[in-house]
Amino acid sequence: SKLTGGDSGRGCFVSDWRGFEKNTGLFEAIRGEMSGRDAQESSPRKSPYKAPRPPQRTPLGTRYVLGTENPKGKLTVLVHGVGAGCFVFADMQESLEGEGYRVLRYDCMGCGSSAPPPERKDGSPGPQDAAAHVQELRGLLDYLQLSHTPLNIIAHSTGATVACLYADTFPFFVTNMVLLAPAGPGMGRGKLVHGPAFRTATLLHDMARRGLEGEEQKRWQRGFYSNGEEEMKRAARFVDMMKKIRADNPLSLDASFEVSLQFGRAAGLRKAVERVGARSNRRVLVLWGERDREVSASNMQKWRAALRRGEAKAHRSAGVVSHHEFQVVKDAAHMLFVERPCEVMSVVLPFLKQGIPEGGVREVVL
C-alpha cells in the first residue's frame, strides 16, 4: 500500500507522540549529547554552534530535520539503519552543512519518533519491508517538493538497502551515494516474510520481545570497537540515546522487530545494486569498519561484487565506466561514522566534491 497521500495517512499518527519533541526535549538532548555538548553549551549565546533545528512531521507521521542554512546547496539525504534514529547523523549534518550542502535526515517508519504504518485489515502490523521504506522516502521528498531534485544519499547499515532500491527505482535523481557498513539481507533473490511464516512470528512476538530487550544493549555496544577515551564516550552517549528513545517511545522496539521480520531477503536487491553500479553518472563510496561484527566481510564482498558486475556491464555496453571506491576503516566497527567521525568525514567530503574521475575502481585501507 502506498505510504503517501491525503486522508489515508491519518491512521499513522500515534496520539502520544504528537507532542513528543515539545514534551520530552528528546531531540535537544540527542543533538547536544551526541555532539558532546550539554544543553547550555548548545545555546547560541554561549557557543558558536548553531541551536538545534526543531524536528518537523509530515501528515503521515514521519519526523524529519531539513537544514535551512543552504537552501541552494546540493541536497543530501541521510538514511539510518533498522532500529536506530536520525539522531545518529546529527554531527554529520553539521559537517555537511559547513561545506554548503542542504541536508535532510529523518526517522524511518516506527523508529525514533516517527509513526509506524497503519495496521492491515486483519489487524497485523502494516508493511515495513524494504519497498515500504522506499515509498516512505519518496513520500517525504514529495511532501517537501524535493522529489525531482538531484541528490546525494548517505546510508548506514540496512539504510543502504533502502538507498540502493530507491536509486534503482528513481535513477535519474540520485548522483553520489555513500554506503556505510551496508547491510543487505541475502543480496540475492528471495521473498519478503509474509503469510503463515509472518503470522507465526507475530504470535511469538511477545516472547521474542522480552528477549530482544535484553539483547539490544549488547548489540548497541557491539557496534563500537575502539577502547580510546573519546571513542568510549561516543559509544556511551549512543547507548544512552537509544535507551532514551526506547523509554520515551516503546513502540520503536516493535518497529525494529517488525522491520527485521519483514525485510527478509529484499527481493531483487542484488540486481538493483548491479544497476546502481552500472550508471556512468553515479559514484558510490562504500566504507566498512574492519572490526564490524554486524556486517561480515563476506557480506561486504557481495556488495563489492555486485557493484563491480554492474560496472563491467556498463563498460561493455556503453564504453563507459562507473566510478566507485571501497575503503576499510581500521579500528572501527559497525557504527564507524559515530566511532571515528573525523576519519570517515575526511573521506566522505572529498568524495562528494569530486566530479566523475578518469579511471575505475579505487581501493584504499585507511
Domains by residue range for the chain, with CATH: 7-365 (3.40.50.1820)
pLDDT of residue 113: 77
Ranges under pLDDT 50 in the chain: 1-49, 51, 188-203, 206-207, 319, 321-322, 357-366
Joined together, the cell numbers standing for residue 141 give 521528498
DSSP string, 204-217: THHHHHHHHHHHHH
Amino acid 123: pLDDT? 73
Confidence at residue 13, expressed as pLDDT on a 0 to 100 scale:
26
Kindly state the cell numbers that stand for 251: 513502540
Instruction: Tell me how far CA of residue 296 lies from CA of 96, 163, 299, 333, 354, in angstroms.
Output: 28, 20, 5, 11, 29
The beta strand positions in the chain, using DSSP E, are 56-57, 63-66, 75-79, 102-106, 151-156, 174-180, 283-289, 323-329, 362-365
In order, the DSSP letters of 54-85 are PPEE-TTS-EEEE--S-TTSPEEEEE--TT--
Q: Hey, is 333 helix, strand or coil?
A: coil
pLDDT confidence of residue 156: 97
Q: Report how far residue 290's alpha carbon sits from residue 185's, in angstroms, rounded to the nearest whole number.
A: 20
SS3 content of the chain, % helix, strand, coil (to 5): 45, 15, 40
What pLDDT sits at residue 324?
Answer: 84
Residue showing cell 522506499:
134
